[in-house]
Chain A
């Protein structure tokens, strides 16, 4: 009898998808991975909604708006283990550089005063609509909102780190982290 495959879900919140790209950088090892796991909700296979309970949820990006928060909480409910993947999920990352600046100033810079927008937004519109997510007062690391079980740093995390970590987690083998794959940039 073959062992039951572990089920993985992934999401990108306030991130740049770089962590997902790095995930794909495991190259041909993705074939090995597919032997070990099956993917549920994830941009990799474009499954939009959880169709079953998952073993592992991988989160890229921190939370900068209320939609991020909803997705993150949904992951916590549907996954046994949650992993914060990359600097943004772990500590807010570059989006959190706005945390020291009042939100109003950020929005005005982004939509009204910034050099790339000031000539193209004569009506000085800042988007606000019930259909678009509401921006949070600051960018939150994921573990400040729900419990996170593991953290994989990097911007993006090196493919070898992601592979080693997932392989160890799925197979129960010992996790090896060589010095050169453990980086914050």
Chain B
């Protein structure tokens, strides 16, 4: 049987199983901590840094931290909120995010966070990097322009034999996510769909699918990201 622990988030007393990921434990207590790289059910990586919170006044990522008894957590100081905004702006600056022409617009988590923080423009210079679109895979399209390198697909998607399909390549500003031509060759429609859905942005698409939901009915047209957790 699992032990429950008591901890405090922004002054609110919370309960959850000991050792649970903080970000998920917060969710159980109706508290939303913004994230891009975390995805329920797959191992955390702490790469986007958006879920950075203060734990006993020291910064740590909520996705890689396990809750313990009496932990004192602050999720939204002005500095943390400004940091999150900055990270989102950095991602917009780094890639080529042309929302008006993107299949994922309205359902995109990066965009939704930017809406939440009312980001009108990035304070950082736009890079306009030269990136490619891989359209030669049988089922998938990989648009490197939009990839935010969160690693969700790498961590969450394996083929039927349990083999890696997605992996990092290069490093730093040239970091990229590559698809293995062999292990991705015979993936099922379901797996392709899963890969598309695990991607927070429009970097992985299933061919011939897109713009299915009309404007006005998309996930984040009227609902702020995280409101489904906070308004429970």
Q: Do A and B touch directly, given a CB cutoff of 8 Å in the complex?
A: yes
Query: Is B106 an interface residue when CB atoms closer than 8 A count as contact?
Result: yes
A13 to chain B, nearest CB (A): 16
Question: Which residue of B is nearest A97, CB measured?
Answer: B98
Question: Which residue of B is nearest A89, CB measured?
Answer: B121
Q: What's the tally of chain B residues with a CB closer than 8 Å to chain A?
A: 27
Question: Which residue of B is nearest A150, CB measured?
Answer: B120
Asked whether A138 lies within 8 Å of B128 as measured between CB atoms, the reply is yes
Query: Is B115 an interface residue when CB atoms closer than 8 A count as contact?
Result: yes
Residues on B with C-beta less than 8 A from A183 are 115, 221
Q: What's the tally of chain A residues with a CB closer than 8 Å to chain B?
A: 27
| Measured CA separation A138–B102 after assembly (Å) | 21
Asked whether A143 lies within 8 Å of B121 as measured between CB atoms, the reply is yes
Chain B, residues 128-139, CB within 8 Å of chain A (1/0): the string is: 111100000000
| Measured CA separation A4–B96 after assembly (Å) | 43
Chain A, residues 158-185, CB within 8 Å of chain B (1/0): the string is: 0000000000000000000101101111
Asked whether B126 lies within 8 Å of A91 as measured between CB atoms, the reply is yes
| Measured CA separation A100–B97 after assembly (Å) | 12
A100-B129, A185-B106 as given contacts; A87 in contact with B100, CB under 8 Å: yes
A99-B128, A141-B126, A179-B115 as given contacts; A185 in contact with B121, CB under 8 Å: no
B interface, over-half SS = loop
Query: Is A7 an interface residue when CB atoms closer than 8 A count as contact?
Result: no
Question: Which residue of A is nearest B114, CB measured?
Answer: A184
Question: Which residue of A is nearest B223, CB measured?
Answer: A179
Interface residues of B in 120-155 (CB under 8 A from A): 120-122, 125-126, 128-131, 145
| Measured CA separation A143–B126 after assembly (Å) | 11
Asked whether A97 lies within 8 Å of B222 as measured between CB atoms, the reply is no
Question: Which residue of B is nearest A99, CB measured?
Answer: B128
Residues on B with C-beta less than 8 A from A153 are 120-121
Query: Is B232 an interface residue when CB atoms closer than 8 A count as contact?
Result: no
Query: Is A24 an interface residue when CB atoms closer than 8 A count as contact?
Result: no
Asked whether A87 lies within 8 Å of B96 as measured between CB atoms, the reply is no
Residues on B with C-beta less than 8 A from A92 are 126, 128
| Measured CA separation A84–B106 after assembly (Å) | 22
Asked whether A185 lies within 8 Å of B215 as measured between CB atoms, the reply is yes
A92-B126, A184-B114, A185-B106 as given contacts; A179 in contact with B224, CB under 8 Å: yes
Query: Is B61 an interface residue when CB atoms closer than 8 A count as contact?
Result: no
Residues on B with C-beta less than 8 A from A100 are 96, 128-131, 145
Most A Cβ at <10 Å: residue of B99, B111, B130 = B99
Asked whether B96 lies within 8 Å of A97 as measured between CB atoms, the reply is yes
Asked whether A96 lies within 8 Å of B115 as measured between CB atoms, the reply is no
Residues on B with C-beta less than 8 A from A57 are none
Residues on A with C-beta less than 8 A from B184 are none
A18 to chain B, nearest CB (A): 10
Residues on A with C-beta less than 8 A from B118 are 177, 182
| Measured CA separation A84–B145 after assembly (Å) | 24
| Measured CA separation A96–B222 after assembly (Å) | 28
B156 to chain A, nearest CB (A): 26
Q: Which of B111, B125, B224 contacts A184 (CB 8 A)?
A: B111
**Which residue numbers of B lie inside 8 Å of A, CB to CB?**
92, 96, 98-102, 105-106, 111, 114-115, 118, 120-122, 125-126, 128-131, 145, 215, 221-222, 224
The 4 nearest A-B residue pairs measured at CB: A184-B99, A155-B100, A151-B120, A99-B128
Q: List 11 interface pairs A-B (beta carbons < 8 Å), by A numbering.
A: A87-B98, A87-B100, A91-B92, A92-B126, A94-B98, A100-B131, A100-B145, A141-B126, A182-B115, A185-B102, A185-B106
Known pairs A87-B99, A87-B100, A155-B100. 17 more at Cβ < 8 A?
Answer: A84-B121, A91-B121, A91-B122, A94-B98, A99-B128, A100-B129, A100-B131, A138-B128, A141-B126, A150-B120, A151-B120, A153-B121, A155-B99, A180-B222, A184-B99, A184-B100, A185-B100
